[in-house]
Amino acid sequence: MSSRFVAFASLGRKALPNQFDVIALAVIFAGFIAIVHGTRGMILPLQAPQSTISLAYANLPYYALRTTLRMFAAIFFSLLFTFTYATWAAKSRRAERFLIPILDVLQSVPILGFLSFTVTFFLGLFPGSTLGAECAAIFAIFTSQAWNMAFSFYQSLRNVPRELNEVANSLLLSPWQRFWQLETPYAMPGLIWNTMMSMSGGWFFVVASEAISVGDTTVNLPGVGSYLALAIDQRRIDAVVAAILTMLAVIIAYDQLLFRPLVTFGARFRVELSGGEHEEKSWVIQLFRRTYLLRALIAVPAQLFKRLALLRLELPFHPELSAEANRWRERILDALSSGIGLLAGAWALWLVYRYVSTHLTFAELGQAVWLTSITMLRVIALILLASLIWVPVGVIIGLNSRLAEKIQPLAQFLAAFPANVLFPIAVVLIVRFSLNPDIWLSFLIIFGTQWYILFNVVGGASAFPNDLREAAASFRVYGLDWWLMVILPGVFPYYVTGALTASGGSWNAAIVAEYVKWGNQTVSAHGIGSYIASATAAGDYPRIVLGVAVMSVFVIFFNRILWRPMSRFAERRTRLD
């Protein structure tokens, strides 16, 4: 079920980065550099508001609430972004040529590395107020959520079945009505699934972004993340455990009250018309359906929305479609927009080059490339290791439908759990037994993301057709043959989806996982993650830009050269439906 919904920008596009990707990359980094330049001019050090965090357990429910609210604020902005950016890209051919590569690159930029920039930027925007810090945290979560939601929405808008579009035309729906009656409902299952995946990933960022130090500036926002940071600072293992338990409770509530009900709700918008499909259940939905009071409670906003969606909201002008007259205008506008895009790209490229070359030497570029290679090796090795363990386990669980029903939600739950809450425990162990951080810190990278592999493989194995299993059994295909010829190809598309998600998350996790603190003790591994993290701690902006840029380029190539061909292959050769 999940493989259909994966939204990954580079999948639909040409394999190797083209000029639009270069433009997008240059523009994005030039933007970051501009932020650095802009904020440099302000009075340093920045006025960071200090909230006093207390390690008393009684404060935890309040902190959990603040953390959750931050999450919802971010998801609100992500939805806003999705509905505007993706719609624009889907409706305007001209805008699409620039917007989609930008989205694609943004998806590959390890945004955690830029936390320092965004913090500086927002603190500068609201000097001396907590609002700036809140905005920075919310923005960090937003950047972890928005891209794949927007891409899923864009893809759905582009794939609305032709006949349904014609129905909307012949019923004379206005653009506004078409958007709410046809396009949004059609995009709903994919959007809900991606929103849920985004929120699951977002907990990680909310914890990481609440407490952050850039050079001499330290920002603390009341929340579980700051509580944890303070616990680490004061070496209070009991408080770390309390934070873990609190996060556990929050994720359980999120899973039960939001994730499951929404996925069940989303099933209603599926287009395939075959009935009798396995329906996902949610006790919250049951409760709402059966309880009169709750039903009445949602009836009012639902009714209001229905009315709003049926308004015509006609644009004051009608684009007249006289083909001949428009063709020339279209061509001129095309050329014009391409020209502006190329110019902006070239200028941005020059800006990046000038910035990096005045602050850094080529030797440092070489070092960054080398460190990124180490991190890449780490990511590959750990994805392989996780696959070796979780694919067989997932297959065995998936083929047992009763077990799968229990494990599947558990794995989804574990994927949502912010693994960085557990990092201090790992550090304590590494310090205690004086283990080699280059090896043992590596496991933290995959700690939170391995579950994506597990639950996708479980999903794939439980969707494996019984006919094929029986055919294999009747031809006496057992042992290694059975694994290689029957089940592994069968779950392959699901595995690719899971591994792709896991790999994306792992790159981001590297920034937090390669450089970990316990009190005043710092444990770090060699890699681009620790390079960026230590540059952030030192407030060394040119190195942050260099590190994140090199990492982004690596991630883009990694996705294009490894994951995209694999997904295409899975799509073409091993799809069972």
Partner 1 sequence: MLETRLKPLLEVKDVCQSYLTGSGETGALVLDHVSLTLKEGEIVGLLGRSGSGKSSLLRIISGLAKPTSGEVTFRGEPVRGPFEAVAMVFQSAALFPWLSVLANVELGLRAKKVVEQEARTRALKAIDLIGLDGFESAFPKELSGGMRQRVGFARALVVNPQILLMDEPFSALDVLTAETLRTDLLDLWVEGRMPIKSILMVTHNIEEAVLMCNRILVLSSNPGRISAEIQVNLQHPRNRLGPEFRQLVDRIYALMTRRKEPTYAGREGTFPGVGVGMALPEVSMETLAGLIETIAGPSFKGRADLPALADETAMAVDDLFPPAETLQLLRFAEIEEGDIKLTPDGLRFAEAEVDVRKKLFGEHLVAYVPLAARIRAVLDDRPSHAARKARFLEELEDYMSDDYAEQTLKSVIDWGRYGELFAYDETTETFSLENPT
Q: Whose Cβ is closer to partner 1: residue 170's or residue 466's?
A: 170
Query: Least distance in Å: CB of 162 to partner 1?
Result: 9
Instruction: State in angstroms the smallest separation of the CB of 310 from partner 1.
Output: 5
Question: Burial level of 285, CB count in 10 A (0-12/13-18/19+)?
Answer: middle
Task: With beta carbons less than 8 A apart as the criterion, state whether 135 and 126 touch.
Answer: yes
- Whichever of 181 and 375 has its CB closer to partner 1, that residue is 181
CB neighbour list of residue 557: distance below 8 Å, 6 or more residues apart = 17
- Exposure string (b/e) for 104-134, b if CB count within 10 Å is 16 or more? bbbbbbbbbbbbbbbbbbbbbebeeebebbb
Nearest to 462 by CA among 503, 409, 416, 389: 409
> Least CB distance from residue 167 to partner 1, whole Å?
5
Quick one: 57 or 288, whose CB is closer to partner 1? Answer: 288
Number of Cα atoms under 13 Å in the Cβ half of residue 270? 18
- Which amino acid is residue 369, in one-letter code? V
- Judged by beta carbon, residue 296 or residue 323, the one nearer partner 1 is 323
Instruction: Return the number of the residue (174 or 522) whose C-beta is nearest partner 1.
Output: 174
Task: Kindly state the smallest distance separating residue 91's Cβ from partner 1, in Å.
Answer: 18
Nearer to partner 1, 4 or 40 (CB): 4
Q: Roughly how many angstroms between the first and final C-alpha of the chain, as a whole number?
A: 12
Contact 140, 100 (CB under 8 A): no
Contact 237, 160 (CB under 8 A): no
For residue 24, the minimal CB distance to partner 1 (Å) is: 25
Residue ranges binding partner 1 (CB under 8 A):
161, 163-164, 166-167, 169-174, 177, 181-182, 185, 188, 268-275, 310, 312, 321, 323, 569, 572-573
Both tokens of 519, joined, read 């009190």
> What's the closest the beta carbon of residue 303 comes to partner 1, in angstroms?
11
As given in the structure block, the two tokens for residue 395 are 């297959």
CB of 456 to partner 1, least distance (A): 24
Residue 116 Cα to chain centre, angstroms: 19
Any idea how long the chain is?
Answer: 577
Q: Which is nearer to partner 1, 319 or 479 (CB)?
A: 319
- By beta-carbon proximity to partner 1, the closer residue of 329 and 432 is 329
Nearest distance in Å: CB 275, partner 1: 5
